[in-house]
Amino acid sequence: MKILKSGVALLAAAFIVACASGFEATYDSDPAHDFSVYEKYAWVSDNPMKVGPTSRITNPMLQSRIMISTEDALEAKGYTMAKDVSSADFVLSFTIGSREEINVDSSPSMGMGVGYGSGYGYGYPRHGGWGGAYYGVSTETTVRQYTEGMLAIDVFDVASHDPVWHGVATKRIHDSDREDAAGTVKSAVDAILVNFPGKIASE
């Protein structure tokens, strides 16, 4: 029952973090892998950032910001950083990317006009007069362009060199997100790693 409650609490926490940050986060993992043996981690290299398809020039400061936020999140989950890869249980790398999206909204709008046609007057039909007002329906189309940002974090087992966990977060990026780049990065990392298994405290 405790395991069930913990699982429900984890799912609830993941939902809250993702919604609060505005990031949509998903993850995948090797169901046969035992994460409970993990204690130490390291970065796969001194420069663990990969750049995927992007529509913008990459900010070089993103790497250090993502690394710091990831280290803080893993420390909160009970993991410690190893001195080097050889003494770590798992290593991490991450990928950033962006793409321009176009959102097209169409909505009906009502219009009013005056028609020319048959009319009635003085008790008998009369042609060629101005008819009554009519209402027509037209469509208004609004086109908006926006940037969707993406961050993916990958975990590899040191002993087997196999990928064992993958998490990704996406979000429509606004000017406020760019102005607070450090906060946006932290929100993305937290939204992803809330799903990563934490160390289970002994009872």
- The answer as to whether 113 is a domain residue is yes
pTM score of the predicted model? 0.68
pLDDT of the chain along its 203 residues, tens only?
A: 333 333 434 434 444 444 445 899 999 999 999 999 999 999 999 999 998 876 566 788 999 999 999 999 999 999 999 999 999 999 999 999 876 655 545 566 555 554 444 444 444 444 444 445 445 566 666 555 647 889 999 999 999 999 999 999 999 988 877 788 899 999 999 999 999 999 855 43
Q: What is the CATH number of the domain that holds 28?
A: 3.30.160
Q: Tell me the residue range of the domain where 69 lies.
A: 2-101+143-193
117 found inside a domain = yes
Residue 28 inside a domain? The answer is yes
What is the rounded CA–CA span in Å between residue 26 and residue 81?
Answer: 25
Question: Into how many domains does the chain fold?
Answer: 2
Say which residues have a Cβ less than 8 Å from residue 14's Cβ, sequence separation at least 6: 25, 191, 194, 195
- Classify residue 171: in a domain, yes or no: yes
71 with 28, same domain? yes
Q: Would you say residue 202 lies in a domain? A: no
**Does residue 198 form part of some domain?**
no
Does 48 share its domain with 112?
no
The pair of structure tokens assigned to 93 is 């790398």
Rounded Cα gap, residues 94 and 189, in angstroms: 10
60 Cβ contact partners less than 8 Å away, ≥ 6 residues apart:
none
